[in-house]
Structure 1
Amino acid sequence: MSSKIIGTGHYTPSHIVKNTFFQDSTFFDENEQPLKQSNEIITQKLKEITGIEERRYATHDQVASDLGFQAAQKAITNAQIDPETLDYIIFAHNFGDVKHGSIQSDMVPSLASRVKHLLKIKNNFCVAYDLLFGCPGWVEGVIQANAFIKAGLAKKCLIIGAETLSRVIDPHDRDSMIYADGAGAVIMESSDDDSGLKSHISASFTLNEIDYLYFGPSYFNQDSDTKYLKMKGRKIYEFALTNVSKAMKKCFDESGYDIKDLAKIIIHQANEKMDEAIVHRFYQLYNTPQPPDIMPMIIQKLGNNSVATIPTLLAMILQGELPQHKINKGDITLFASVGAGMNINAFVYKF
């Protein structure tokens, strides 16, 4: 028995925030000193490094569970299933529901329970729980759903990744321009055919890397008790370049496929230059040239919305929203992510 994806959906907020939005921002460094470069140069460098031209923010009346519900509904419709037949709802996020203008996170009840309620599911034995695993949370949810299905504990699972990072960023930190909001979801079910998840790997690097992504004070007012999402960008880049490509190779080798069989790499949309470097290093490990168009990117228009990047990208490809990229029946695809923890995971999937 294997597990396969039978439906996908994504919800992209309507509020577009272009790089010009930050022209009037006042940015500081970690020592509370104003950045010397102009905002025009800062935003231009952001685009050159990350590829980001614009991002999406949730509207003021939306929270992460609302975005997740929208993506879940679309995945259920796409799969053409009765939501009452779901055995698990796994909701990957990191900050819960944070209302606009609030500094408080709300995670009780769980966001998965809130989505189940919004879906009006009556089946009490549909288990709903949240998963906090950094940006790789959605991939980890797929791995867990696969385990439930293969163990005979579930036949159908809904896996959601949703986040509103715009609510937890420091407006005086230039890194805040990277983050965005969004949601993606898939339906997985048991299958006896040759498609589905073929291998997977997960790892947590916590000895020396625990604080590469963390919650810290604003760069403008460090005496405040309010904390924001912070990152050590250079350390993350070096860590990812070394460790993610190795994890991807280990996962792919365990699948039993030849590197020439690989059709697509769906990687967490963290930073365009970093993702390109990871995939380039991955192919170097095989001493083989990197094929063109192997790695689709949507960060340019959607930014980095954490757990939502991979399921959103997958849904957009499968539903024809990225005509330059296609996934066909039988295609071997490698999914990979890295994020706070520091956590890394990957899985190989045959469509």
Structure 2
Amino acid sequence: MSKPSVYSIIVGSGSYLPEVIMRNEDFLHHTFYDPCKQKIAKTNEFIINKFHQITGISERRYVRPDQVASDIATEAAIEAIADAKIDAETLDCLIVAHNFGDVTLASGQSDCVPSLAARVKYKLQILNPQLIAYDLPFGCAGWLQAVIQANQFIQAGIYKRVLVIGAETISRVSDPHDRDSMIYADGAGAVILEAKESEFPIGILTQQAKSLAYPHALALRMEKSYNPDATTENLFLKMDGHKLYEQVITHVPQIMKECIEASPIEIADIDTFLIHQANLKMDEAILSRLFEAYQIKPAPLEKMPMSISFLGNSSVATIPTLYDLIAKGKFEGHQFKSGQHIMFAAVGAGINLNAVIYRIP
């Protein structure tokens, strides 16, 4: 009998969905400007309705004034540890994916010293000095990239148990005078990956990652407010939406296809597609183009659960929070069962993108 192989499996998950709900109508009294700092002539009703048609977002979540990213990351971690029924001291590694650090409401400035991972370890009161804690900034694809790194550590025999968290408070770096600010939200999600021997492939089967830094790195960047009368020198998240859309619907389906082709399964074997919740129309285009590459029309959009309508785009937190909701039976119409296959895919600032295929044990 051949020796069993080691695979990375998810043994617990957790999430934190902020308490403050911001609905589309809450933006009716905002004053929006274009990139040239000219006031947009269209009414806010028109802007918001068009926004909803494209993104599918009706509401999003914001953290309370007293919270920062490391706080909500800790909450998601606590839930994941409890779900896995483990002692936090037995963790070998803790990775926190984020892009802006802890941003207080008063300052609006990024604070990454010490790292968020160190802060989470501190807040969890973990004493184990062998538990290595570090951050991973990789755009919105950061959480999935942290999963990929955790899997590589486990495959190499370096670690046996890794806590991977995605946490972001984009509401703190969004320009209230930019229409794109309506996309962004806050949230945190976490999973615990553990080494598991098996004679049959389980857990993470294949993974792919790419960076398109040249020539597209600045499609997402930090700039001053579009408001010509703004008094703050703070920088806000800015996006070339059209340019980003073109790159995403070209390259994300491609990396997903490469991930499938490197795996022992076919596209028809994939039961659920968990794609970064950036934009409803864009995610639908990604899945449609992927299936078109296999001469399959229409794409089975029912296999792609979307949480963006009520959670917005919380960057690194969209996929782990969606995974946790389904895993806990809190997402109507979707559930995970043993033997099913999940495809994860994400894209974000950089431009960085990745994909993972996972077989549920």
Which bracket does the TM-score occupy, shorter chain normalised? over 0.9
Moved over 6 A (4+): none
Closer/same/farther in 2, CA of residues 86 and 209 from structure 1, 3 Å limit: same
Once residues 217 and 231 of structure 2 are traced to their aligned partners in structure 1, the CA distance between those partners, rounded to angstroms, is 23
Matched AA of 2:53: E
Deviations 1:259-307 (A, max 9, x none): 1111110000000000000000000001123225110000000000000
2:187 partner SS = strand
Q: Which residue of the partner structure matches residue 3 of structure 2?
A: none
Once residues 211 and 106 of structure 1 are traced to their aligned partners in structure 2, the CA distance between those partners, rounded to angstroms, is 22
Q: Which residue of the partner structure matches residue 249 of structure 1?
A: 257
2:246 partner SS = helix
CA RMSD of aligned residues (A): 1.0
Pair 1:269 & 2:269 matched:
no
Pair 1:321 & 2:330 matched:
yes
1:256 partner SS = coil
1:217/1:223 contact within 8 Å kept: no
Q: Which residue of the partner structure matches residue 219 of structure 1?
A: 226
Matched AA of 1:345: N
Pair 1:209 & 2:213 matched:
no
Pair 1:136 & 2:141 matched:
yes
Unaligned residue ranges in structure 1 (runs of 5+):
none
1:207 partner SS = helix
Q: Which residue of the partner structure matches residue 334 of structure 1?
A: 343
Q: Which residue of the partner structure matches residue 28 of structure 1?
A: 33
1:28/1:219 contact within 8 Å kept: yes
Q: 1:195 aligns with which of 192, 202, 205?
A: 202
Closer/same/farther in 2, CA of residues 225 and 100 from structure 1, 3 Å limit: closer
2:15/2:188 contact within 8 Å kept: yes
Q: 1:79 aligns with which of 77, 84, 103?
A: 84
* Matches for 1:146-225 after TM superposition, within 5 Å: 146-193=151-198, 194-221=201-228, 225=233
How far residue 64 of structure 1 moved from its aligned partner, in angstroms, is 0.2
Q: Which residue of the partner structure matches residue 145 of structure 1?
A: 150
Q: Which residue of the partner structure matches residue 293 of structure 1?
A: 302
Matched AA of 2:206: S
Deviations 1:313-338 (A, max 9, x none): 00000100012111111111110000
Q: Which residue of the partner structure matches residue 267 of structure 2?
A: 259
2:113 partner SS = coil
How far residue 256 of structure 1 moved from its aligned partner, in angstroms, is 2.1
Deviations 1:161-189 (A, max 9, x none): 00000000111000000000000000000
Once residues 317 and 185 of structure 1 are traced to their aligned partners in structure 2, the CA distance between those partners, rounded to angstroms, is 13
Once residues 48 and 216 of structure 1 are traced to their aligned partners in structure 2, the CA distance between those partners, rounded to angstroms, is 27
Pair 1:50 & 2:60 matched:
no
Q: 1:310 aligns with which of 313, 319, 338?
A: 319
Q: 1:232 aligns with which of 227, 240, 261?
A: 240
2:139/2:315 contact within 8 Å kept: yes
How far residue 101 of structure 1 moved from its aligned partner, in angstroms, is 2.2
Unaligned residue ranges in structure 2 (runs of 5+):
1-5
Once residues 323 and 55 of structure 1 are traced to their aligned partners in structure 2, the CA distance between those partners, rounded to angstroms, is 19
Once residues 65 and 232 of structure 2 are traced to their aligned partners in structure 1, the CA distance between those partners, rounded to angstroms, is 24
Q: 1:88 aligns with which of 89, 93, 99?
A: 93
2:284/2:301 contact within 8 Å kept: no
2:39 partner SS = coil
Once residues 74 and 293 of structure 1 are traced to their aligned partners in structure 2, the CA distance between those partners, rounded to angstroms, is 28
Deviations 1:15-66 (A, max 9, x none): 0000111000000001111101100111111110000000000000000000
Identity of matched residues, %: 50
How far residue 224 of structure 1 moved from its aligned partner, in angstroms, is 5.5
2:287/2:301 contact within 8 Å kept: no
